[in-house]
Amino acid sequence: MANRNTQGFGLIPAGTLGATPSTGGQNKYKIDSGYTTSLYLGQPVQYDTAGGANDNPGYVISGQDAITRPTIGVFNGIFYTASGTLKPTWASHFVRGTAPANSEDVDCFVIDNPWQQYNVQLDTRLGASAALAQAEMGKTMGMTVSALGAGSDASGSTTSGQSNSQLTVGTASNAVANQWRLLRVAEDPENEDLITTPQTNPALANFSGYATVVVVAARSQWFGTGSVSA
């Protein structure tokens, strides 16, 4: 069956490893005032350390500037005091350069369970046949790379705040510990075709969009090795 997905949506929580209860729980972290990269719902983030840009040490930054970045979890909104109105403000995404009142930092909410599974959209078909698609399961892959800094606004919607990132099939590897490990196709009857080449024009009679799959973090900053799978 043809897929209906036409737009990437980042990472959406979908159960946990071991089928334990999944609360979608999140915890609060900090984004440095004036940080120069926009962040969107469903985008992987990391602590800034020597493994990141190392410009904002101890703060949360984008974890999507390289496919091998370790991550603490997935961005899920912010809270801060607006400098113009001095009012408490919640937002679904962080607009680069946001500087709260009184030189405060921005509170950032992150879904940070390292065993959390996520639904994510592929950026192309997984394989030319069912057998080839199945052979990709268990490999590690990266998300759409989005550079740090002022040029990063194209990684999500400024209206909904949702990421538009996809899982990049071309980065699949058994040898390299990329950020996410592919587990299986999502149980979504309208978006489970892994072998039809996606098309960009929904008006076509034979149109098929992008499949949805399930991933878990393969590189996590919560572990000394940087990898859940190590």
For each of the chain's 230 residues, which pLDDT tens digit applies?
577 888 889 999 998 988 777 777 899 999 999 998 899 999 999 998 755 555 778 899 999 888 988 999 999 999 999 998 999 999 999 999 999 999 899 999 999 999 999 999 999 999 999 999 999 999 999 998 876 665 445 588 888 899 999 999 999 999 878 999 999 999 888 888 898 888 767 676 667 788 999 999 999 988 765 555 54
Query: What pLDDT is stored for residue 79 in this prediction?
Result: 96
* Residue 177 belongs to a domain: yes
Cβ contact 229:128 at 8 Å = no
Domain end residue (candidates: 96, 111, 126): 111
The set of residues, in sequence order, having a beta carbon less than 8 Å from that of 66 and lying 6+ positions away, is 142, 145
Q: Which of 61, 80, 111 is the last residue of a domain?
A: 111
Question: Do 101 and 161 reside in the same domain of the chain?
Answer: no
**Residues 92 and 118 occupy one common structural domain:** no
CB 74 within 8 A of CB 98: no
What pLDDT does 230 receive? Answer: 43
| Residues of the domain holding 91 | 25-111
- The answer to whether residue 18 sits within a structural domain is no
What is the predicted pLDDT for the residue at 13? 93
13-to-3, 137, 184 alpha-carbon distances in Å:
20, 19, 14
Residues 87 and 136 placed together within one structural domain of the fold: no
If asked whether residues 212 and 118 sit together in one domain, one would say: yes
What per-residue confidence (pLDDT) applies to 152? 46
